[in-house]
Amino acid sequence: SKLGDQANSSGDYTITGVPQDNVPSGTEQSRSITASATTFETKEQDIDISGDKRKNITLNQASALLNGEVTNAQGRTLDAVTVTIESLGRTTTTNDGDFSFPATPIGSHNVTVSHPDYTTKSKRVSVGTDGATANFNIDRTTPVRLSIDAIYPRSAQPGDVVTVEYSLDETV
């Protein structure tokens, strides 16, 4: 038969009615115990029930992959954007605008993306056992900066055709 109990807010539990084997005193008696809790990994272990009746079972919090992509208003991916999960840490987006947190605890998390040239956005993301994806689209808040890299030919007269090489910082 199965016996069980739910732990209280302190994590304490009591399982009553565990049958004792008819064995000589001092002989180990064990029972298989399965412990489970929402957002934790289920654990099964054999526990010696002879002697001290207080037994601790430690459960590891379950985790999964949380990943996503950050893009601008035109749908272009943005690199070097900071992505933060409260109480877990931060990372930056790759050249492809991707980010990932491979061991995110199961549950609901506040995810924030930020960059000095773009709006900061946050959203609540629920991570299940299959993981979660959180994509962000953020708007630029500063003007695009133009840098002139070279002008050819170096010396020109009025009316001459010149070539200007330039770069924009739009891709962060």
What pLDDT score was predicted for residue 172? 45
pTM for the model: 0.65
Long-range pairs of 140-148 with CB within 8 A, sequence gap ≥ 24:
140/72, 140/73, 140/170, 141/117, 142/116, 142/117, 144/168, 144/169, 144/170, 145/169
In the prediction, which pLDDT does 26 show? 63
List the beta strands (DSSP E) in the chain: 30-35, 43-48, 63-71, 82-85, 89-92, 98-105, 107-115, 118-127, 132-133, 136-137, 146-152, 163-168
d(CA 73, CA 137): 6
Residues in CB range of 107: below 8 A, 6 or more apart: 39, 126, 127
Report residue 153 as tokens.
Answer: 């030919």
Angle among Cα 127, 97, 72 to the nearest 5 degrees reads: 100
Nearest to 100 by CA among 74, 137, 125, 117: 125
Which tokens sit at 22? 């008819």
C-beta of residue 161 within 8 angstroms of C-beta of residue 144? no
One digit per residue, pLDDT tens: the chain, 172 residues?
577 777 787 777 777 776 666 656 666 677 788 888 777 788 888 877 766 667 788 888 889 999 999 999 999 999 999 999 998 999 999 999 999 999 999 999 999 999 999 999 999 999 998 999 999 999 999 988 888 888 888 888 888 898 888 877 765 4
